[in-house]
Amino acid sequence: MTTLFSTAGGAAILLALSGGAQAQTRATDPSTLDILDVLVEKGVLNRADADAVLAEARKRSEADAGTVRVPYVPEAVRAQVREEVKRDVIATAKSEGWAQPGAIPAWLDRFTLSGDMRVRGERQAFGGSNTPLLLDVNAINADGSYSTDDVLPLRSTTKDRYRGRIRARLAVDARISDGIDAGVRFTTGNPNDPTQNNQTLTGNFGKFVVGLDRAYIRARPFAKDGTFANTNLILGKFDNPFFSTELLFDRDLQFEGVAGTLSARLGDGNGAPEVFLTGGAFPLEEWDVTSDDKFLFAGQVGASGSPIDGFRLKTAVSLYEYTNVQGQYNTLGTRDNEHTAVQQIQFGNSVFNLRRDGGFVNTVKFGLASKFRVGAVTARAEFDVTPSLVAAIDIEAAKNFAFDRAAIDARDVPASSGDKAWYANVSIGHPVISAKNSWQLAAGYRRLEGDSTFDLFTDSDFGFGGTDQEGFVVVGSWAVARNLWLTGSWFSARTINLADPTTGTLAPPIDSDTFMFDLNVKF
């Protein structure tokens, strides 16, 4: 027999080939059928045997249809794959900040970096009947050489103003040890203005001034005690430690000195009542010519709690004692009480010329006519409108108990609008502007009589800043993305009892409307 394959042997070989190639081909593939046809034509197989081989191959193909074959991978290849996957995972963990024990030094883990930036467009519009005769007390006192016969510097009260402004702040806080922390914050703005962190966009592209507006060390001895957890002592330069509103203290104001809070929670749970007592001593001006430095001593007692679900209330009573801030007349022909002159003022407090040069014409240096011992009552009530929305009412009333009309008259001050102030504000929205589409709306009214409080520290955005003004404020905010939000504000103010401190001339009220549009980010 001269054929390469016997009939039976050829069939067996073909069947083995077709079955062993299941991973790549099926018995019904065109290549398999072609081979069978060729074998039949060559006489290796007859048609019956070819059909039998094809039928058997189909049976084996159907039987193996559910079989999963796992190829063999050498150990060296597996080790290489493991290393590549490991490198990819570590790189992803580092880029996304996954927890990595020991990956960063322990000392670095104690620091927290945060900041915010605000870009503002601001327009201040004045009433058409405003008087142009509003003295610039700060410019007069800084110069020191103006006389009562000179044309004294004036503040703008008739020319509308537009300006772009930026505020940028960067804070670093550190956990020193259990119950001890410290922090610093850098900010833009005029370093001599305690209520302003804004940098006006002028100066021919010059550099912005950056200052240190916070530097503190704080102790929380009972931080892990649920009852006294909020008790603390803080020293340095720090945020307002008192529960208050913009009526008395601007939101950007940072206190200097020492303050302490004794706080006790009277029960368990978030709604448990809490009582607190806060006190502090804060130097305002220090002089080498006298020991009568200017100070603020303050104390506050208050309570907070949630008497019913969805309602929270916080109240406080405060006393703010400003010492040695009242100006004193110089001895005739001397400058012995120059240090009692006001170093900086916003607007509203009664002032007088403390110089008595003994000549026909006096030069001018202004001091505050009144003393200040300000008592205040503050309250905030919050109501849950929905699980994510809160409505709130803020109220504050203040009175200067050291105000003495006779002392004002003795300094030839022509007028003072009084010693009382009050503030009311309603708001609704998300408690914090952070998540996309979070929002807040607020509207309020305030009245600050001329000597109701120390005008240097009040809200600098309302009117001219300071006191002797009343009016309303409307504010709205909306987050366009996470930690990115827009704010629009309208401050409408009118002076109460405006008078020229050098002549006693009373003037019509000054009207001002300030519009602000802010783009804010925080990180």
Whether residue 303 is found in the same domain as residue 425: yes
In a domain, 382, yes or no: yes
Whether residue 425 is found in the same domain as residue 491: yes
Whether residue 113 is found in the same domain as residue 58: no
Whether residue 174 is found in the same domain as residue 32: no
- Once rounded to an integer, what is the mean pLDDT over residues 500-508? 75
In a domain, 100, yes or no: no
> Alpha helix locations (H) across 314-427?
405-410
Whether residue 166 is found in the same domain as residue 46: no
pLDDT in tens, 111-133: 999 999 999 999 999 998 898 88
Structure tokens at 519: 């783009």
pLDDT-derived band at 428, boundaries 50, 70, 90: very high
Taking the CA atoms of 13, 19, 23 and 27 in sequence, report the sign of the dihedral they define: positive
In a domain, 85, yes or no: no
Name the burial class of residue 234, with classes exposed (0-12), middle (13-18) and buried (19+) by CB atoms within 10 angstroms of its CB: buried
Structure tokens at 37: 């046809």
Inter-residue contact 379 to 445 (CB < 8 Å):
no
In a domain, 21, yes or no: yes
In a domain, 242, yes or no: yes
> Alpha helix locations (H) across 101-225?
137-143
Give the separation between CA 45 and CA 6, rounded to whole angstroms: 8
Whether residue 384 is found in the same domain as residue 263: yes
Whether residue 15 is found in the same domain as residue 150: no
Whether residue 271 is found in the same domain as residue 420: yes
Residue 376's closest CA among 282, 238, 466, 247? 247
Give the separation between CA 258 and CA 237, rounded to whole angstroms: 8
Residue 408: strand, helix, or coil: helix
- Once rounded to an integer, what is the mean pLDDT over residues 277-283? 99
Whether residue 323 is found in the same domain as residue 463: yes
Whether residue 46 is found in the same domain as residue 133: no
Whether residue 316 is found in the same domain as residue 406: yes
Name the burial class of residue 162, with classes exposed (0-12), middle (13-18) and buried (19+) by CB atoms within 10 angstroms of its CB: exposed
Q: Name, in order, each residue with C-beta under 8 angstroms of 244's C-beta and a sequence gap of 6 or more.
A: 318, 376, 378, 396
In a domain, 86, yes or no: no
Q: Where are the beta strands (DSSP E) in 144-196?
A: 161-177, 180-188
pLDDT over 80 at 506, yes or no: no
How far does CA 111 lie from the centroid of its chain? Answer: 18
In a domain, 226, yes or no: yes
CATH of the domain at 477: 2.40.160
In a domain, 79, yes or no: no
pLDDT over 90 at 145, yes or no: no
Whether residue 115 is found in the same domain as residue 57: no
- Name residue 169's beta-bridge partners: 116, 187
Residue 277's closest CA among 303, 309, 240? 303
pLDDT over 80 at 318, yes or no: yes
Inter-residue contact 115 to 523 (CB < 8 Å):
yes
pLDDT-derived band at 95, boundaries 50, 70, 90: low
Number of domains making up the chain: 2
Inter-residue contact 137 to 342 (CB < 8 Å):
yes
**pLDDT over 70 for what percent of the chain?**
85
pLDDT in tens, 216-257: 999 999 998 889 999 999 999 999 999 999 999 999 999 999
Phi, psi of 94 (to 5 degrees): -65, -45
Residue 361: strand, helix, or coil: coil
CA atoms within 13 A on the CB side of 517: 5
- Once rounded to an integer, what is the mean pLDDT over residues 395-422? 88
Residue ranges making up the domain that contains 58: 7-63
pLDDT over 50 at 3, yes or no: no
Q: Where are the beta strands (DSSP E) in 340-438?
A: 351-353, 366-368, 372-384, 390-400, 420-429
Q: What is the pLDDT of residue 22?
A: 45
